Amino acid sequence: MITFTEELRFYHWGKSSSTAESHSGLDMRGEVLLLTRNVRVVGNDTDTWGAQIVVSDSIELDGTLRTGHLTLDSVECYNCSQRSTRKSGIRIENAKLGHHVVKNSVVWGGEGWSFSI
């Protein structure tokens, strides 16, 4: 049993049994994985450009290899991408050497691709 001390900010509907019989076979129950997200990345809405999280490997001018690593856990990315381009909200580009993990996170509300590798 969960008791909330504050009113919920987002809509959620759930039912203990399937709704398939009353909705032509469609089970409309939902689950909530996260009740809160610790980090929110919110893109600015200027000329349909949003925020972007980009990870890549690179070589410095002195020859030093920089390896890109990405770990996102419990992150909400809103309005993150750019319309009519391949510039997604989360982009792993030429990052072949590092370890990447995206879990318990959501990318939504952008005008382009949410995620690309």
Residue 54 · residue 91 · CB < 8 Å: yes
Q: pTM for the whole thing?
A: 0.64
Could you give the CA distance from residue 86 to residue 107 in angstroms, rounded to a whole number? 15
What's the pLDDT at 32?
52
Could you give the CA distance from residue 46 to residue 57 in angstroms, rounded to a whole number? 28
HSE of 58 in the Cβ direction (CA atoms, 13 Å)?
Answer: 7
Tell me the pLDDT of the chain (117 aa) as tens digits. 567 788 766 655 566 777 778 777 766 665 555 556 678 888 887 777 888 999 999 888 899 888 888 988 888 999 999 888 889 999 999 998 989 999 989 999 998 999 998
What's the pLDDT at 12?
56
